[in-house]
Amino acid sequence: MAKRLQGPKGKEINEIVDRCDRCGGELMAGKTTLEIWSGEELLVIKDLSADVCRQCDEAYISAEVSVKLDHFLAEHHWCRPERYIAVPQYSAAQAMGNSGKI
């Protein structure tokens, strides 16, 4: 049984079958990178094993990976990150209008 992890907090998990539930495409074994908000922190977890849609690249992680990920998210503060990356943040006003344009 495969499960899907989605949403910015990685909390919404829906069961899926062998086909992409977004486009109906075929899934194949691959890797995905997840971005997950944990409180005020944005965590990036690279190269997780996942089933990836051939058509739209939507990734689905297994129940096993999902459980391990939940454990990691509860205890990640004990683990030194591989590296830190800078993430640009924009306001809605910048994204929707002209303010902030150079």
Between residue 45 and residue 74, which ones bind Zn ion under the rule CB under 5 A? 53, 55-56, 58
For residue 20, state whether it binds Zn ion (rule: CB under 5 A).
yes
For residue 30, state whether it binds Zn ion (rule: CB under 5 A).
no
Among 2, 6, 19, 25, binds Zn ion (CB under 5 A): 25
Find where tokens 């150079």 sit.
102
For residue 22, state whether it binds Zn ion (rule: CB under 5 A).
yes
Residue 13 CB, shortest distance to Zn ion, in Å, is: 18
Q: Report the interface residues with Zn ion, using CB under 5 A.
A: 20, 22-23, 25, 53, 55-56, 58
